[in-house]
Amino acid sequence: MNTDMVKKAGTPFKDEEMIQPDDLLNTIRCLLNLSENVCIKDIVFEMKKSII
């Protein structure tokens, strides 16, 4: 994830290649709007570049 902590730790990836904090935020907002009948078991975020 593109955060200051990851940048300080060192990463070979460019900012635009990493998962963006807004991606996580938008997912959480979507989940909060689901009905109470929904049970989310897993959510996995992976960088596209790391799985290609």
Instruction: Output the tens digit of pLDDT for each of the chain's 52 residues.
Output: 999 998 899 989 999 999 999 999 999 999 999 999 999 999 999 998 776 5
- 19's CB contacts (< 8 A; 6+ apart) are 1, 2, 45, 46, 47
And the tokens for 32?
């909060």
pLDDT at 36 (0 to 100): 95
